[in-house]
Amino acid sequence: MNFPVTLSFNWRMLLALFLLLPHTEADAFGKKQEDEEDKPKAPEFIQAKPYRLVQLAHVTTPAFTFPNGVRADFNADLNKIIDSQINGSRWFRTVEVAATPSRLVVTGGITSLELDALQLNLKVGWNDNGVIPMPGVPWANGEVDFRLSKMSMDFKVYDRLTGQTYLASYTDENLSNLKIQVRLRASDITAAVDILYKTGIAEAVRRATADIMTSLENHAHFDYVPWEASVLSVDPEHGRLVFNAGLAGGVAARQVYSVYASCQPGGECRFLADAKVESAGAFQSEAGAFTANDSFQRVRAGDKVYVKPLAVSTGAP
For 245-269, the pLDDT digits (tens) are 999 999 999 999 999 998 766 667 8
Mean pLDDT within 163-179: 78
- The verdict on 78 and 173 lying in the same domain is yes
Please name the amino acid found at residue 268. Answer: E
Q: Is residue 21 included in any domain, yes or no?
A: no
- The verdict on 173 and 270 lying in the same domain is no
- The verdict on 56 and 176 lying in the same domain is yes
Mean pLDDT within 86-95: 96
DSSP state letters, 145-203: EEEEEEEEEEEEEEETTT--EEEEEEEEE-TTTTT-EEEEEGGG--SHHHHHHHSSHHH
Which pLDDT belongs to residue 33?
Answer: 53
295 vs 170, residue with greater confidence? 295
Read off the CATH number of the domain in which 213 is found. Answer: 3.40.50
- The verdict on 177 and 115 lying in the same domain is yes
312 vs 26, residue with greater confidence? 312
Mean pLDDT within 44-66: 94
Q: Encode pLDDT of 58-82 as tens digits.
A: 888 999 999 999 999 999 999 999 9
- Worst-scoring range by mean pLDDT, 41-45, 82-86, 166-170? 41-45
Q: Is residue 42 included in any domain, yes or no?
A: no
pLDDT over 90 (residue 47)? yes
> Whole-angstrom Cα distance, residue 109 to residue 56?
11
pLDDT band at 315; cut points 50, 70, 90: very low
Please name the amino acid found at residue 293. Answer: N
Q: How far is CA 156 from CA 162, 167, 168, 213, 312, in A?
A: 14, 5, 4, 10, 26
Q: How far is CA 116 from CA 2, 93, 121, 195, 231, in A?
A: 95, 35, 7, 13, 56
Number of domains in the chain: 2
- Worst-scoring range by mean pLDDT, 12-16, 145-149, 207-211? 12-16
> Whole-angstrom Cα distance, residue 127 to residue 62?
10
Decide the pairing of beta strands 122-127 and 130-131.
antiparallel
- The verdict on 235 and 187 lying in the same domain is no
Q: Is residue 18 included in any domain, yes or no?
A: no
> Whole-angstrom Cα distance, residue 29 to residue 274?
42
Quote the domain boundaries for residue 104: 52-222
Domain final position from 222, 253, 278: 222
- The verdict on 209 and 96 lying in the same domain is yes
| Residues near 302 by beta carbon (within 8 Å), at least 6 away in sequence | 230, 231, 262
- The verdict on 159 and 203 lying in the same domain is yes
Q: Is residue 83 included in any domain, yes or no?
A: yes
- The verdict on 145 and 66 lying in the same domain is yes
pLDDT band at 15; cut points 50, 70, 90: very low
Which pLDDT belongs to residue 250?
Answer: 97
pLDDT band at 173; cut points 50, 70, 90: low
Domain final position from 222, 253, 287: 222
> Whole-angstrom Cα distance, residue 299 to residue 285?
16
- The verdict on 235 and 216 lying in the same domain is no
Which pLDDT belongs to residue 36?
Answer: 54
Q: Is residue 291 included in any domain, yes or no?
A: yes
Are 143 and 183 a contacting pair, CB within 8 Å? Answer: yes
Read off the CATH number of the domain in which 284 is found. Answer: 2.40.10.340
> Whole-angstrom Cα distance, residue 226 to residue 48?
12
Q: How many CA atoms lie within 13 A of 196 on its CB side?
A: 19
Domain final position from 222, 246, 281: 222
- The verdict on 171 and 90 lying in the same domain is yes
- The verdict on 252 and 163 lying in the same domain is no
26 vs 81, residue with greater confidence? 81
| Residues near 87 by beta carbon (within 8 Å), at least 6 away in sequence | 93, 94
266: left (phi over 0), alpha (psi -120 to 50) or beta: left
Which pLDDT belongs to residue 6?
Answer: 44
Q: Is residue 45 included in any domain, yes or no?
A: no
- The verdict on 292 and 188 lying in the same domain is no
**DSSP letter assigned to residue 133:** P
pLDDT band at 29; cut points 50, 70, 90: very low
- Percent with pLDDT over 90 in the chain: 70
> Whole-angstrom Cα distance, residue 201 to residue 179?
12
